[in-house]
Amino acid sequence: MSLALDPRMIDAGAAPGHIPVAPVAVPAGYPSPSQDYFSSELDLNEYLIKDKTSTYIVRVAGDSMEPGGISDGDELIVNRALEPKDGSVVVAVLDGELTIKRLRITRAGVVLEADNPSYPPIRVRELSDLRIWGVAIRCLHYV
């Protein structure tokens, strides 16, 4: 049985930035009959971005974070106002070079860690210039 969502039932007059939302969750397991229309809208800016003045989108280059669900070409929504914590995915500037890594705060110091084990952890040396540019809050993953 296929889930038939009739495109004629989508309100084409939605406000800019608003996207129609299906009235029910769509199962990812076994198919289930569902309603054939969309009943509400979702403003992606309102849903994804809580602080517009501090939020940016950056494009990912490389595969060092791929096991964590962040792939080459994905876009990260990054909030510069958030306090980075141990385990946060951050956009870091280390000695003038940008990188996206998982921040680890250890007793031995700060480590920028890739989720891909092919990349060694970057131990931030005492005299290094490390600035956390922002904390990733969402990944826009393209399939």
- pLDDT, one tens digit per residue, over 73-89 is 999 999 999 999 999 99
Instruction: Assess whether 43 and 70 both reside in one domain.
Output: no
The pTM assigned to this predicted structure is: 0.74
Domain holding 25, by residue range, is: 7-48
Task: Identify the residue whose tokens are 């946060």.
Answer: 88
Select from 60, 127, 128 the least CA-distant residue to 93. Answer: 128
Report the pLDDT value the prediction gives residue 143, as an integer from 0 to 100: 79
pLDDT category, 34, cuts 50, 70, 90?
Answer: low
Does some domain include residue 23?
Answer: yes
Does some domain include residue 63?
Answer: yes
Do residues 136 and 88 touch, judged by C-beta distance below 8 A? yes
pLDDT category, 96, cuts 50, 70, 90?
Answer: very high
Instruction: Assess whether 27 and 94 both reside in one domain.
Output: no
Instruction: Assess whether 25 and 85 both reside in one domain.
Output: no
How confident is the prediction for the chain on average, in pLDDT?
Answer: 82
- Active site positions, annotated: 64, 101
Q: Is pLDDT above 90 for 23?
A: no
Report the pLDDT value the prediction gives residue 137, as an integer from 0 to 100: 95
Does some domain include residue 16?
Answer: yes
Does some domain include residue 97?
Answer: yes
Does some domain include residue 95?
Answer: yes
